[in-house]
Amino acid sequence: GTVDAHPRTRQDLPVTSCSTAMAYPSLAIFNAIRGIRVYSNSVAGRAWFSTSAAFPQPKSGTSVSENHPSSAETAPESSQVQWISTAASGKRPTGIVMMNLGGPSNVEEVYPFLHRLFSDREIMQLPAQKYLSRWIATRRTPKIQKQYLAIGGGSPIRKWTEEQGRKMIQLLDERSPETAPHQFYIAFRYAAPLTDDAVLAMKADGVQRAVAFTQYPQFSCSTTGSSLNELYRSLQRHNMQDAVQWSIIDRWHSHPGLVKAFAKRIMDALHDYPEDVRHDVVILFSAHSLPMSVVNRGDPYPQEVAATVHEVMDELDFHYQYRLVWQSQVGPMPWLGPQTGAALEGLAKNGKKHVLVVPIAFTSDHIETLYEIDLEYAKEAHKFGIHGFKRVESLNASPIFIDAMADLVSEHLKAQQVCSKQYVLRCPGCTNDYCATAKAFFSRSPTSSVQ
């Protein structure tokens, strides 16, 4: 969502996101009281407040403590994951933990997803959070379920992550036999499989070497940073701080394989335009926005997204006109712009009729690609007179993309890297002391140094 002149951004319908709430806790109280529309971050579900919504009783089994709730405390029985153990093969597997925010796989998972999100005091702090989080989740659930029904009944993020993981470890076993067998574990923040599920599965498999592999190519404290903090808390909960040798892939925004995968998807989409208009297509790279208060604290996300865009356009020889824009802004606060909706309107006023949107910070389809871009932005674009509106297919199971993932992890293992130099640097304006604890833990290594 965006803030501009069209009806979706009137002051009676401000927009926010899960990642926004992570980074900007004061908005959560404002949003909860007023009743607002909510968009998720790169791979999460979207929520929409409805002040006239019914107020059913919260589901049983979802009580949450106010201090960093564990996934075990918040997960209903249906979210428990049955992992296939590899310990029986005789050799302990190398664990590859694929971290992402996740999303409800069906409409029944929407309430638990939201309850976990709004119970987490690391990403937002609410008065009487144990009770208010339940109230917010309950009121949002019916509208969000309708959003998911509009895209098939649930988020496909888990399906895509599982397929990516299976194909990635097949390549890893071939390319890095010295660390084989490899086993992937999914660690979503608020939807099954949760971080605790992954940690307990690794414990059952006897994993002693693991790579925490963020599925967000561009680092933000509200996404990768939050996932790593939760991973460390889970290791503490299960007394596994010293059971596994960890290293992390905390960013990969300029990896050549990632760049080539995006470029291939763009070229495929451009060929869908008639040849006589292809030269006039504007490529609009769209990424989830951040509040300027977060940007001004020193979050590296904006420059890393811009770096990905530059590398992709370099791969395309800068042959096409392009802009980087930002989606999912909330209300009256200053946000990183220009916003996607406003950019579409502006391009239309400038006579542009063909726009190709590239979700540059999202590697798999989810609610923000399938609903926000494909349905909402497409509708707005046609209203503005942009009849050549298209979206690039997400990377999903792209062979180039999966090859890039395997190459990245293989090279990481061979180099014995612990983490990037950027990871250990706290934002100049960081206000979360827990970040320092997690960074100190994941940057330690008995055999190698930070690279």
Q: What are the residue numbers of the active site?
A: 255, 407
Question: Can you spell out the DSSP letters for 289-329?
Answer: --BHHHHTTT-SHHHHHHHHHHHHHHHTTT-SEEEEEEE--
DSSP reduced 3-state for 190: coil
Tell me if 169 sits within 8 A of 95, measured CB to CB. Answer: no
DSSP reduced 3-state for 299: coil
Q: What does the alpha-carbon distance between residue 205 and residue 13 come to, in Å, rounded to a whole number?
A: 48
Strand positions, DSSP E, 162-320: 182-188, 209-214, 245-249, 282-288
Q: Which helix (H) or strand (E) holds 440?
A: helix 433-442
For the chain, what percentages of helix, strand and coil (3-state, to nearest 5) are there?
A: 45, 15, 40
238: left (phi over 0), alpha (psi -120 to 50) or beta: alpha
Q: How many CB atoms lie within 10 A of CB 142?
A: 16
**Phi/psi at 325 (nearest 5 deg)?**
-130, 170
Q: What does the alpha-carbon distance between residue 340 and residue 347 come to, in Å, rounded to a whole number?
A: 11
- By residue count, the chain amounts to 451
Given strand 182-188, what is the order of strands in its sheet?
A: 182-188, 94-100, 209-214, 245-249
Q: What does the alpha-carbon distance between residue 41 and residue 47 come to, in Å, rounded to a whole number?
A: 11
- For residue 235, the 8-state DSSP code is H
The amino acid present at 294, given as its one-letter code, is V
Residue tagged 């130099």 (tokens): 421
- Nearest Cα to Cα of residue 442 among 169, 218, 250: 250
Residues 6+ apart with CB under 8 A from 284: 322, 323, 325, 340, 343, 344, 347, 355, 356, 357, 358
DSSP reduced 3-state for 354: strand
Residues 6+ apart with CB under 8 A from 167: 397, 402, 406
User: Helical H runs in 176-255?
Assistant: 195-205, 226-237
Question: Apex CA 101: angle with CA 96 and CA 103, to 5°?
Answer: 115
